[in-house]
Amino acid sequence: MSIKNIKSIAVTLLVFLSYSVSAQEEVKVPLTNPNKEGFLKAEIINGSITVKGYEGDEVIVKGIQREGERRSRNRGRGNRVGLKRISANSLEFSVEEFDNVVRVKSSVNGTTDFEIKVPKNFSLKLSTVNRGDIYVENVNGTMDISNTNGKITLKDISGSVSADALNKDIIVSFVKVNPDIPMAFSSLNGDIDITLPKNVKADIKVKSDRGEIYTDFDIKTRPSKAKVIKGDRKKRNAYSVKVEKWIIGSINGGGPEILFKNFNGDVILRSR
């Protein structure tokens, strides 16, 4: 067994064994190569994820069990009058590192919030589904962020982002944008509020079905083309033309595409 694999297994065992006595735990994970950019993957079901960049060369993960969400299972189990209940701590999560890729996983039982510190140059893949927001601050890298029922906030970040939120807002503030990578932001029931450097060069594509679009950039717009689908007569497919309400334009002469797609919320594009 390699040294890298031994390190991953040791960290995982440490986390699982430590939760019989504590409602929260912090572990420090060394990187295989601290001089290279790392990649954090944290994809959970219940809870919030907070990631902050710092001047260090380890990934520090703190898991916190949220109190007051354990369901009662006393129905149909007889009389418990006069007995004391002994609570078992249900907090479980694992952290694994292999070749600068750090994976954080939590149990599906209960709600676990994560507070994670990473070196500033770190790429992220973060997602949660229920009872939590995602917050990232002071990180430089490629970010893939998804939240089903909570908010996404990315503050003072650099790099590129692909973000989607189903039922809450997406708020992103860039210090610097990667000039070579396209980005995309989508929401169903929340606002999309993005702040970009005023000198950013980008082609934009914006649509909001039931919301408004606001910006302080000088955007050179052009008409969007109808999408034409030609059917095959032999297969009796129809010839169709689809016209959508996209705003297409360029900022500072154009560059990689940034797509904004919303349904029930506004799209706000700010300069800094």
DSSP string over 40-86: EEEE-SBS-EEEEEES-SEEEEEEEEPSS-PPP--TTS---TT----
pLDDT score recorded for residue 222: 80
What's the confidence (pLDDT) of residue 228?
A: 67
Instruction: Report the alpha-carbon distance of residue 62 to residue 27 in Å, rounded.
Output: 6
What is the residue type of 21? Answer: V
More reliable by pLDDT, 194 or 2: 194
Q: Is the pLDDT of residue 191 over 50?
A: yes
What pLDDT, on the 0 to 100 scale, is given for residue 85? 64
196-239 confidence digits (pLDDT tens): 999 999 999 999 999 999 999 999 888 677 666 666 666 666 66
Residue 122 parent element (H or E): strand 122-128
Pick from 28, 51, 24: which is nearest to 40 by CA?
51
Closest residue by Cα to residue 135 from 114, 154, 150, 158:
154
pLDDT at site 87? 57
How many H helices and E strands in the chain? 1, 22
Dist. CA 72–CA 52, nearest whole Å: 36
Assessment of whether the complete model's pTM goes beyond 0.85:
no
Confidence of residue 68 (pLDDT cuts 50, 70, 90): low
